Amino acid sequence: MQILQSFRNMLSKRHSIAGNWKSQNKPVIGWNSTYTPEEIINAIGALPVRIVGSMKPTTLADAFLPRNACSFARSTFDLALRSDYAYLDGLVTSNSCDNFTKTYDLWRYHAKIPYFHFINTPHTNTPKAHEFFHQEIIRFKKSLEETFKTTITNKTIQRTIQLYNENRNLLKKVYDLRRKDPPLISGAEALEIVLSSMLTPKKEHNKLLKQLLKEIENRSDPPKPGVRLLITGSMMDITDLLNIIETVGGIAVADDLCTGTRYFWNLVRTDKDPIKAISKRYLNKIPSPSRYHHQERFNHIKNMIKQYNVEAVINFLLKFCDTHMFDAPLLTEELKNQGIPVLNLEWEHTRSGIAPIKTRIEAFIETIKGVP
Q: From first to last of the 372 residues of the chain, give the pLDDT tens digit.
A: 899 999 999 999 999 999 999 999 999 999 999 999 999 999 999 999 999 998 888 889 999 988 888 889 999 999 999 999 999 999 999 988 888 888 888 999 999 899 999 999 999 999 999 999 999 999 999 999 999 999 999 999 999 999 999 999 999 999 999 999 999 999 999 999 999 999 999 999 999 999 999 999 888 888 999 999 999 999 999 999 999 999 999 999 999 999 999 999 999 999 879 999 999 999 999 999 888 788 899 999 999 999 999 999 999 999 888 888 989 999 999 999 999 999 999 988 877 767 779 999 999 999 998 865
DSSP helix/strand/coil, 96: coil
- CA pair distance 2, 219, nearest whole angstrom: 11
- CA pair distance 205, 170, nearest whole angstrom: 10
- CA pair distance 74, 317, nearest whole angstrom: 16
- CA pair distance 70, 322, nearest whole angstrom: 9
CB 341 within 8 A of CB 368: yes
On whether the pTM is more than 0.85, the answer is yes
- CA pair distance 320, 151, nearest whole angstrom: 42
Q: What are residue 118's DSSP bridge partners?
A: 93
CB 71 within 8 A of CB 82: no
Give the number of residues written for the chain. 372
Enumerate residues 6+ apart whose C-beta is below 8 A from 67.
none
Ordered domains of the chain (ranges, CATH): 2-153 (3.40.50.11890), 156-369 (3.40.50.11900)
